Structure 1
Amino acid sequence: MFLSPACISQHTLPRVLNLALRQTAQQNIISSFTRQLRPTRPSLSTLSPLRAATATATATVEMASVQIPTATGGSERVPFSQLKGRIAPQLLQNIEKMGLTHMSPVQEQVLQMSSLKNDCLVQAKTGTGKTIAFLLPALQNILTAPDLQRDFVALLVLAPTRELAQQIADECDKLTGRTLDCHIAVGGTAKESRLKKFLNGKPTVLVATPGRLIDYLSEEETRHKLSKLRCVVLDEADRMLDQGFAPSIKRILQQIPKKQVAGWQGMCFSATVPNEIQQFLPLVLNKNHTRISTIDPNETPTVDRIPQSAIPIESISDALPVLHSYLMTQKKANPQLKAVIFSGTARHAGLLYHVFGPTGGAAPKGLPCFQMHSRLSQPARTRTIEEFKTAEAGLMFASDVIGRGMDFPDIDLVIQMGFPPEKAQYVHRVGRTGRAGKSGEATMILTPQEMRFVRVNKDFPIRVTEPFNHPDLPRSVTKIAEALEKVPEQTKNQAYTAFLGFNVTIARQLGLQPPDVVNLANDFAYSMGYEEIPEVEQKTVSKMGLKGVAGLRIQGKGVSRAAPGPNNRTGGGRAQGGPGRMQRGKVVDPRAGGGQNNYGGGGGGGGPAADGSNGGGNRSQGGSNNSRGGGNRRGPRESTGANAEEPSRKRPRRGAQV
């Protein structure tokens, strides 16, 4: 049940909480809530064919190669000290300074190849120490080369994201003690100044994302700097292909010295080896390359061993209060909670950070807040990554920039606000927790439309919980309402526009038509405390394919209207409104139900009151006159007028924020 500050009083709160306690006792939610969110872990035999194949992916490469058996982790770990005489003392000393004493399985297998100059194809997951595994042999060969020219790049590393590229560069600096210059070329930074520094410097190592390196290679001086390569590394090759970098990688390999001529060492690291990767292997690896796999074919994938759940909510306006109440529950169970909350857009992630972070202050006490998304500058992203890595507890509000490849230690919980458009995104998001064999859990907060994800993806072990009816939920409603009042208007406007655009892209998956998308976005706006929906630029509306759809406020033109007539109806209202709570951005008296309607359609009858008595609200007529149906909190129909051509976009009073 949802309340606003305007509705909570000394008289109503005890009654509401008593009702919630009765409901909770009946559903056994409070005493077993955490247990309910932990689904039965499936055995390998229950895996879907698709994910079972992914878990044991060992695609055959049509090249002669030396196969090293898969490491299962059963043997005792080998200390780095055993590499004396094989690795330069300088590198081993810096390894010790980094606090590393023993090799991970992937490091052990790569560093114990017959020759550290061998080409290799390595299957390894993120978070297994693979960065050290490819940097150590490459740097060893560079440092011991008698004819090293420091004006030229000797080691080129390609990575799919700027965050991963920065991580690799940082590790390189630690290993070398900055005795070799390591440069980075990624998007989101000042290209001209970075390029100038690169061309005027002595970059022995270059770590780059494919897109930005293509920009660099347009300069003849850059191609000259790369004319004496000794090693090329493709890190997370499968992910680079997933992100559409295949054409860029091909262009890069065509513009740097050919392997057959220059003879540089090639290393390819990838969690999986799909057929698409094979087309690059002859350009990067020689025929007699070493193939290594540290992925146990019998290991249960993270997505199968992590308890997963979905919390259903009645409408988008319930999302933030439920998130707040859920986090409070988790914080009580685990005072050192460390969680990642994923959003579908960067703007929504930023909104959540403002609500829960320093601006709104809604986060549980003792949990610092962080944000990570594409709208942040590269320095801000780098700083946030380091801070969250070292934090013992905290909340990270993020978009998919950290959905894969970023290794944050000790993540207890992953929460997804809404569902990801692709199954792979879901898998990688869930994979942020339970890393290195540790425990963790994942949940989703889903509207009725979004619950379709669970129904369609039955191969994922997602348990649908009971609706979240914690007795502290009214307090969360109040807290979120107060926090939203403090969030800058621009932040909320941007979140609304991004929400609208995102739902346009996933409308088919949700089973929504354009008018439904607009209605959903407007409900989202009301949930942020708007009395009137925000304006959207005409060109933005056109790009979204929403031109002519009723319900949008076009900048400088007012609310867009639909032509009158029954054909404009988007559907009738529900037969009965939900129990007393928030309806269409208005706070509803806890004793009265409210009908819920679709614009242009008739509203439903009043729902039951929160205390069990009958709520008011008659059925209203919509459609031909485009009036807005739906019972209000007291009973009579709330319409915009007998012959109104559009629904009112204003709420009846100021006091109702959510």
Structure 2
Amino acid sequence: MPGAARGGKAHNARTRASRALKRKNDAQEIAELDRASAAAEPGSAKTFAELPLSSKTRQGLKRAGFLDLTDIQAQAVPYALRGRDVLGAARTGSGKTLAFLIPVLEILYRRRWSNADGLGALIVSPTRELAMQIFEVLRQIGAMHTFSAGLVIGGKDLKHEQDRLRRMNILVATPGRLLQHLDQTVGFDCSDLQVLVLDEADRILDMGFANTLNAILEHLPTGRQTLLFSATQTRRVKDLARLSLDDPEYVAVHDAEANAHSTPAQLEQFYMVVSLDRKLDTLFSFLRTHTQSKILVFLSSCRQVQYVDEAFRKLRPGLPVMALHGKQKQTRRLKIFQDYTRSKHAALFATDIAARGLDFPAVDWVVQVDAPDSAATYIHRVGRTARYQAQGKSLLFLLPSEEHGVLAQLHGVDVPITEIKAKEAKVQSIANQLQSFAFQDASLKHLAQKAFVSYVRSIHLHKDKETFSVAKLPLTEFAAALGLPGAPKIKLVKDAQKAQRAEAARAPAPGGDVSSDVSSASSDEASDASLSETDERPAAQAPKVRTKHDRLFGRTNNTVLSAHYANMVDTDDAGFDLDDDDGELLTLKRAGHELDEELSAPASHELSKRQILQGQSKKAMAAAGKRGKADKIVFDDEGNARSLYELQNEEAFRQQGDVAAQIAAHEAEERARMAEADVVDKERAKRKRQEKKRRAKEIERQLAEANGTRAPVAELAGGELDVDDLPDLVLPGDDEASDEEAAPPQPKRARTATLAEQEAQALALLGD
């Protein structure tokens, strides 16, 4: 025992000595790293080995395969290691993620941060996918460190996150869920925060998180170090930098190999002028001819992504198709993100949720079916390909009305883009197939209508009204291209068309005087006033030809499609609430509230068939006062019509005679009627009784013949056959026969034994 005690003490002494030596070595390493960081010149290093980094960070970088520095990393990391705030700007795909993750690990390591110290670094990302990507890179390069790291992105159990949040040293989060934890999670303390990172700050502001971000900053200490990175430096980003950064180092990296362009030199960029009704045809043909490529397709709204994904799954373009948009649940979005990352050949339809920061490996083509809302969005979209030193290509679809305005914006930021044209022989039309799918599947048709409305809404919300005009869109042809039998009427389209006509009326005619302009304007206003609500086609446009599908949809006995089609296409003054973010087809406005005014309108104001039918309906006529109060007509035995709810006043009742006399007369009338009914009922009961007796004798005779004896069944059975045990019969000539045959069978009272059971009992006795 004494020897064991001495051995234990020796072991403890060696352990303490080892720990002391380790602390001494760590202190020496940290001191050397601090001196090297102070002397390091930003931009001078070419590899990570040349930077003053700890051995643990070097090992993590080497295991993850990161060896060479990018320009933004070489410039930003040395400043961050000195403890300075950094405002970084670099094009997408330039390696900004490592530019802030390496300083986060190094700062916490040099300050000897441990699990007991709480939250030391906070990284805020605009989207869930980007946050997951940042967290995955952090796990790779920080594997040798002992820090605890967490991911908070929403879509998961809040209680589960709260239990683990207090033990995190590094936290990667989206703004909404982070603010929720700051407000609600007890014990989540950020008072000792060392580093704050705002990644894709311009995107955070564009997505409407400005107020959320300001609220987050109020929870954080002012003595922290802040790193703010963004692909574009807008005025709002600079305002945010002034509020959150203290004397920052501004790091802006421009790729010299790109010849001062905003996009990488290895990116080939093309655009194609495509009419609105040929966009899906061209996209499908493009996918069919690039089945061995990895393609990322951008559309403007979630509903369009949903519809194109469902439709192309049915069309089978020859490569796997996926969809990524903001209306998917978190688990679904994560699975799609991972599946597309691992795929070699696939097409991903996505909204701008995938345009910022996401690093999909080996993307060959970025196809923008809908034009971006700005040059910055275009740069972010094409940045999903040609990342780092890889090659890539992009293709932009432009409407003829969008070509001039969009190209002017791109040329303004030095984007080199070349026009190409599609070979008409290779463009396959899919409109008939989509129409067939929509006719067979009501849900797909409804989704096509949502996609139509959401696209029109996205064009309406564009700031550049000269380039993106709803009134210039060929909506009828676009609806046919989606497989719809008609274009849904949208209020904003009518307003845009009226505004365009009014503007055209105000514009002076070439070579004309003021008086002619005024007269033309007044005539246009008069024509607008007389224009029918149900026929807003220009005069030069040919009338729409009704097909067999239109006639079929118009039938009232179609319980699924006709009513929905009528609401979407035949509604005369229908409109949609565009304040909803979903772009849903929402509640349709009622047409023709004032039936009196409409029915008495002059002949110049033509009413639609639907409005006329509404005006002739009982409900509408009752509301208009044509028949007074709601009533129901019934007919008595003599065929005279009378009101079911007919009421007499007291004076009319007394004119018919004395009350006692009326009561006596009514009682006498009812007694006579009941006496007649009793005679009929007794006669019917007598006939039924006789028929039952006849059937009983017939059964006895048949059973006796079957057994070779003339003995009655009652004697053979040892009992008496009760006539009442036979079922009720319907006699010929009964007034109730038709009613009993037509009515469904009703449950009857349980009897002692059915006729079949009595016959079986008799045969059993005979056998004995």
Q: What letter matches 1:291 in structure 2?
A: Y
Equivalent of residue 399 in structure 1, options 351, 358, 364: 351
Matched residue SS, 2:227: strand
Matched residue SS, 1:302: coil
Decide whether aligned partners of structure 1 residues 258 and 169 sit closer, same or farther in structure 2, where only a CA change above 3 A counts: same
Counterpart in the other structure of 2:501:
none
Shift of residue 321 of structure 1? 2.6
Counterpart-to-counterpart distance in 1, 2:39 and 2:355 = 31
Matched residue SS, 2:361: coil
Equivalent of residue 159 in structure 1, options 125, 130, 140: 125
Please say which of residues 454-463 and 402-411 is displaced more in the overlay. 454-463
Shift of residue 577 of structure 1? 11
Q: What letter matches 2:531 in structure 1?
A: P
Equivalent of residue 457 in structure 2, options 498, 504, 510: 504
Counterpart-to-counterpart distance in 2, 1:183 and 1:107 = 24
Q: CA RMSD in A?
A: 4.5
Decide whether aligned partners of structure 1 residues 195 and 468 sit closer, same or farther in structure 2, where only a CA change above 3 A counts: same
Counterpart in the other structure of 1:215:
180
Which digits, 9 at most, give the CA deviation of each residue in 1:439-478, with x for residues without a partner? 44333445xxx4322132342366665575225625x567
Please tell me whether the aligned partners of residues 323 and 445 of structure 1 are also in contact (alpha carbons under 8 angstroms): no
Counterpart in the other structure of 1:309:
271
Equivalent of residue 317 in structure 2, options 363, 369, 373: 363
Decide whether aligned partners of structure 1 residues 127 and 456 sit closer, same or farther in structure 2, where only a CA change above 3 A counts: closer
Counterpart-to-counterpart distance in 2, 1:238 and 1:70 = 25
Which digits, 9 at most, give the CA deviation of each residue in 1:459-504, with x for residues without a partner? 2366665575225625x5676667x469964354234224314413
Q: What letter matches 1:103 in structure 2?
A: L
Equivalent of residue 125 in structure 1, options 87, 91, 95: 91
Aligned counterparts, 1:462-611, within 5 A: 469-471=424-426, 473=428, 484=437, 489-507=442-460, 510-512=468-470, 520=475, 526-530=480-484, 566-568=531-533, 569-572=535-538
1:184 aligns with 2:151: yes
Please tell me whether the aligned partners of residues 431 and 482 of structure 2 are also in contact (alpha carbons under 8 angstroms): no
Aligned counterparts, 1:247-262, within 5 A: 247-259=211-223
Counterpart in the other structure of 1:604:
none
> What's the TM-score once normalised by structure 2's chain length?
0.54
Decide whether aligned partners of structure 1 residues 583 and 214 sit closer, same or farther in structure 2, where only a CA change above 3 A counts: farther
Counterpart-to-counterpart distance in 1, 2:402 and 2:279 = 17
Shift of residue 374 of structure 1? 0.7
Which digits, 9 at most, give the CA deviation of each residue in 1:521-570, with x for residues without a partner? x7655544456889x9xxxx89x8989x9xxxxxxxxxxxxx99534442
Equivalent of residue 78 in structure 1, options 41, 46, 50: 46
Counterpart-to-counterpart distance in 2, 1:585 and 1:428 = 43
Matched residue SS, 2:424: coil
Shift of residue 154 of structure 1? 0.8
Counterpart-to-counterpart distance in 1, 2:486 and 2:532 = 26
Q: What letter matches 1:411 in structure 2?
A: V
Shift of residue 369 of structure 1? 1.9
Identical pairs, percent: 25
Decide whether aligned partners of structure 1 residues 420 and 272 sit closer, same or farther in structure 2, where only a CA change above 3 A counts: closer
Shift of residue 437 of structure 1? 5.4
Decide whether aligned partners of structure 1 residues 151 and 370 sit closer, same or farther in structure 2, where only a CA change above 3 A counts: farther
Matched residue SS, 1:341: strand
Aligned counterparts, 1:240-279, within 5 A: 240-259=204-223, 264-279=224-239
Please tell me whether the aligned partners of residues 185 and 194 of structure 1 are also in contact (alpha carbons under 8 angstroms): no
Q: Which runs of 5+ in 2 are unaligned?
A: 1-37, 411-415, 498-527, 552-568, 572-603, 615-768
Q: What letter matches 2:225 in structure 1?
A: Q
Counterpart in the other structure of 1:454:
403
Shift of residue 152 of structure 1? 1.7
Counterpart-to-counterpart distance in 2, 1:67 and 1:456 = 49
Decide whether aligned partners of structure 1 residues 462 and 576 sit closer, same or farther in structure 2, where only a CA change above 3 A counts: farther
Decide whether aligned partners of structure 1 residues 456 and 106 sit closer, same or farther in structure 2, where only a CA change above 3 A counts: closer
Q: What letter matches 2:153 in structure 1?
A: V
Equivalent of residue 380 in structure 2, options 419, 428, 439: 428
Counterpart-to-counterpart distance in 2, 1:219 and 1:149 = 22
Shift of residue 323 of structure 1? 1.7
Shift of residue 345 of structure 1? 1.2
Decide whether aligned partners of structure 1 residues 468 and 228 sit closer, same or farther in structure 2, where only a CA change above 3 A counts: same
Please tell me whether the aligned partners of residues 452 and 479 of structure 2 are also in contact (alpha carbons under 8 angstroms): no
Please tell me whether the aligned partners of residues 306 and 442 of structure 1 are also in contact (alpha carbons under 8 angstroms): yes
Counterpart-to-counterpart distance in 2, 1:147 and 1:370 = 43
Shift of residue 405 of structure 1? 2.1
Counterpart in the other structure of 1:205:
170
Counterpart-to-counterpart distance in 2, 1:496 and 1:212 = 33
Counterpart-to-counterpart distance in 1, 2:395 and 2:605 = 42
Decide whether aligned partners of structure 1 residues 399 and 412 sit closer, same or farther in structure 2, where only a CA change above 3 A counts: same
Q: Which runs of 5+ in 1 are unaligned?
A: 1-65, 550-562, 587-597, 601-622, 628-639, 646-658
Please tell me whether the aligned partners of residues 341 and 396 of structure 1 are also in contact (alpha carbons under 8 angstroms): yes
Decide whether aligned partners of structure 1 residues 510 and 375 sit closer, same or farther in structure 2, where only a CA change above 3 A counts: same
1:324 aligns with 2:284: yes
Q: What letter matches 2:209 in structure 1?
A: F
Shift of residue 215 of structure 1? 1.9
Structure with higher helix content: 2
Shift of residue 234 of structure 1? 1.3
Please tell me whether the aligned partners of residues 300 and 351 of structure 2 are also in contact (alpha carbons under 8 angstroms): yes
Question: How many equivalent residue pairs?
Answer: 481
Please tell me whether the aligned partners of residues 237 and 269 of structure 1 are also in contact (alpha carbons under 8 angstroms): yes
Q: What letter matches 2:147 in structure 1?
A: L
Matched residue SS, 2:470: coil
Counterpart-to-counterpart distance in 2, 1:386 and 1:133 = 24
Q: What letter matches 2:470 in structure 1?
A: L
Counterpart-to-counterpart distance in 1, 2:89 and 2:469 = 39
1:291 aligns with 2:250: yes
Shift of residue 599 of structure 1? 10
Counterpart-to-counterpart distance in 2, 1:430 and 1:114 = 29
1:349 aligns with 2:305: yes
Please say which of residues 267-276 and 110-119 is displaced more in the overlay. 110-119
Counterpart in the other structure of 1:383:
335
Q: What letter matches 1:274 in structure 2?
A: T
Decide whether aligned partners of structure 1 residues 626 and 511 sit closer, same or farther in structure 2, where only a CA change above 3 A counts: farther
Please tell me whether the aligned partners of residues 42 and 75 of structure 2 are also in contact (alpha carbons under 8 angstroms): no
Decide whether aligned partners of structure 1 residues 322 and 212 sit closer, same or farther in structure 2, where only a CA change above 3 A counts: same
Which digits, 9 at most, give the CA deviation of each residue in 1:261-309, with x for residues without a partner? xxx222122233334333333554333x443333247521229974321
Please tell me whether the aligned partners of residues 157 and 233 of structure 1 are also in contact (alpha carbons under 8 angstroms): yes
Matched residue SS, 1:506: helix
Counterpart-to-counterpart distance in 1, 2:54 and 2:372 = 46
Decide whether aligned partners of structure 1 residues 511 and 109 sit closer, same or farther in structure 2, where only a CA change above 3 A counts: closer
1:94 aligns with 2:55: no
Q: What letter matches 2:205 in structure 1?
A: L
Please tell me whether the aligned partners of residues 91 and 263 of structure 2 are also in contact (alpha carbons under 8 angstroms): no
> What's the TM-score once normalised by structure 1's chain length?
0.62
Counterpart in the other structure of 2:754:
none
Counterpart-to-counterpart distance in 2, 1:485 and 1:599 = 18
Matched residue SS, 2:56: helix
Which digits, 9 at most, give the CA deviation of each residue in 1:357-380, with x for residues without a partner? 4xx15222xx32221111222232
Matched residue SS, 2:214: helix
Counterpart in the other structure of 1:610:
none
Counterpart-to-counterpart distance in 1, 2:439 and 2:148 = 45
